[in-house]
Amino acid sequence: MSQRDEVFEMLVERGAPLFGKSKEEMNEDMRFVEDLNAKSVHYSQITTFLEDKFDVEIPYMTFRRKKTIGEAVDYVCDLLEE
């Protein structure tokens, strides 16, 4: 499994129950606000979960500016490569 796939799986693992979706429903094109009705608490819980899983600091406000799950995954992968 690639690092990108792993980040996506972890985001879905935490995000699906937060957004009331099944893991199978979640995809990289889903938009946080328009499709998932994401709120501040959702972003906070997801970033904290990913920080713990990958031992990386994820700037909350930058993560929150990502429109889709795929953009968020790419952002976390970029942080892991630094």
pTM score, two decimals? Answer: 0.94
CA dist 26 and 44 (Å) reads 19
Query: What number of other Cβ atoms are within 10 A of residue 6's Cβ?
Result: 16
Section 47-74 average pLDDT: 97
The single-letter DSSP state of residue 77 is: H
Section 49-68 average pLDDT: 97
**Domains of the chain from N-terminus onward:** 3-81 (1.10.1200.10)
Provide the pLDDT confidence category of residue 11 given band limits of 50, 70 and 90: very high
3-class secondary-structure state, position 5:
helix
pLDDT at 54: 97
pLDDT at 20: 96
For 61-67, the CB contacts below 8 A with 24+ separation are 64/40, 66/32, 67/31, 67/32, 67/33
